[in-house]
Amino acid sequence: MKTKPKCATIAASAFWSVAITFSLLQTVSAQGFINLNFEQASIAPAPPGYTPWDAANRISAASALPFWSVSEDSTICTAVWGSPIALDETSVALVSGTYPPIAGNYSVQLSAYANAPSGYYRSSSISQAGVIPAGTRSIQFLIASPYQNIQPNPIVTLNGAANALREISQSGGVITMAGDVSAFAGNTATLAFLCAATSGGTFPANENYFNLDDIQFSPSSIPEPSGLALVALGALLLGFRRRRNSRRSPNGTVVFSGTSSWYLMMTVESYKGQRDNPSTGQSNFLAWYSQLAFGGSNYENTPIGAASHVEEPQRTGVNSPGTYFGYWEAGKILAACAWNSANTTNFQAVGDPFVRK
């Protein structure tokens, strides 16, 4: 009777070993996001030499937020605050027990104090790398402000690019936010939640706080804009009047109303309003900010801020008007309105970054 050569058996064994190892590597590298509701938290002491040095009631970041990386500014943190008691200070804290979480047993609180003195941190973030499920259209999550006089203002990035967020519902102080992530579906990406504030500003602009929970990737698109956003869409390419009591449109076809002393505008065209392209026949920043803008006189129809975007073949991702105008209505500064609505690199904004309605 013939038997298989011993060398063949060894070779086959080696082949299967390589195949199994390769399969395991594929599984690890294709891992999805984990602990998106923060319920895998556990309490353990912070390690020796922990960062940040100013963490109060400090606990291990690896135990409190498994699978997440915690940072303050650009420093990787090995500890988080064991209770969300920071005010006028930057922190990442685990919310539980006597500090009610948004849902379940745990939430995470991110805070930022932009005017922190030298040696202290000024922004906070959590991040995680994973595969966004195939077929995903949007990311949705819950936020809530622990302080009534501070409007929560999260920034979400994918591979470092800010995602345009939209508020889709609010109930009992809990806000459901959503953003379009369809371009990343089926791919590995680094998801980050950033908390930052306006440096040099006064309270509450120089502080930002929000509790975060229940992050989900959804196969559903972001719901249609609210009535406010639809009104804003009708204002494209038109200058809003500044005066509160004005109800006349420069072209006589659209009536503007609202409670804002200062108004924004937004355009979608080929040259983004560049002032050095007068020969194109398209509008530009010089015209938008002139005394006679949009049929007015003495700056009465001149907007206080403008954002412009390019929408050409092969160039998609015009900024979200719902976020842009919605944040303005909510009292955000122009810089926050423009930055949080950003959804394309073909984008420009002009105006005082700290102005608000």
Which domain CATH number covers 179? 2.60.120.260
Of residues 28 and 153, more confidently modeled: 153
Tell me, yes or no, whether 135 and 249 share the same domain. no
Tell me, yes or no, whether 201 and 302 share the same domain. no
Q: CA nearest 60: which of 75, 80, 76, 40?
A: 80
Averaged over 32-46, what is the pLDDT? 96
- Structure tokens belonging to residue 28: 């690890």
Find the domain containing 198 and state its range.
58-218
pLDDT of residue 287: 72
Domain-embedded: residue 53: no
Q: Are 12 and 191 a contacting pair, CB within 8 Å?
A: no
- Residue 119 reports pLDDT greater than 80: yes
Tell me, yes or no, whether 190 and 307 share the same domain. no
Q: What percent of the chain has a predicted confidence (pLDDT) above 70? A: 69
pLDDT of residue 126: 98
Domain-embedded: residue 326: yes
- Consecutive H or E run containing 108: strand 107-113
For every residue of 264-279, which 3-state class applies, written as one string?
A: EEEEECCCCCCCCCHH
Most confident range, picked from 241-250, 295-304, 327-336, 340-349: 327-336
Q: CA–CA separation, 276 vs 138, rounded Å?
A: 38
Tell me, yes or no, whether 211 and 88 share the same domain. yes
Domain-embedded: residue 46: no
Total structural domains in the chain?
2
- Consecutive H or E run containing 21: helix 6-29
Domain-embedded: residue 31: no
Q: Among 170, 197, 218, where does a domain finish?
A: 218
Tell me, yes or no, whether 347 and 275 share the same domain. yes
Tell me, yes or no, whether 239 and 199 share the same domain. no
Q: CA–CA separation, 246 vs 164, rounded Å?
A: 31
Tell me, yes or no, whether 325 and 307 share the same domain. yes
Tens digits of residue pLDDT in 208-256: 889 999 999 999 998 654 444 433 333 333 333 333 333 333 344 434 4
Domain-embedded: residue 44: no
Q: Tell me, what amino acid is at 55?
A: A
Tell me, yes or no, whether 234 and 304 share the same domain. yes
Q: Give pTM, 2 decimals.
A: 0.58
- Structure tokens belonging to residue 187: 């791919």
- Structure tokens belonging to residue 267: 């355009």
Query: What pairing do the DSSP bridges indicate for beta strands 107-113 and 75-76?
Result: unpaired
Most confident range, picked from 52-56, 132-136, 239-243: 132-136
Q: CA–CA separation, 145 vs 207, rounded Å?
A: 12
pLDDT of residue 252: 41
Averaged over 320-336, what is the pLDDT? 80
Tell me, yes or no, whether 80 and 190 share the same domain. yes
Q: CA–CA separation, 201 vs 17, rounded Å?
A: 60
Q: CA–CA separation, 187 vs 310, rounded Å?
A: 26
For every residue of 65-91, which 3-state class applies, written as one string?
A: CCCCEEEECCEECCEEECCCCCCCCCE
Tell me, yes or no, whether 65 and 178 share the same domain. yes
pLDDT of residue 248: 35
pLDDT-based confidence at residue 356 (cuts at 50, 70, 90): confident
pLDDT-based confidence at residue 6 (cuts at 50, 70, 90): very low
- Structure tokens belonging to residue 76: 């990787």
Domain-embedded: residue 30: no
Tell me, yes or no, whether 204 and 71 share the same domain. yes
Q: Are 322 and 301 a contacting pair, CB within 8 Å?
A: no
Tell me, yes or no, whether 165 and 264 share the same domain. no
- Residue 146 reports pLDDT greater than 70: yes
- Structure tokens belonging to residue 22: 């390769």
Q: Which of 13-22, 95-104, 241-250 has the lowest mean pLDDT?
A: 241-250
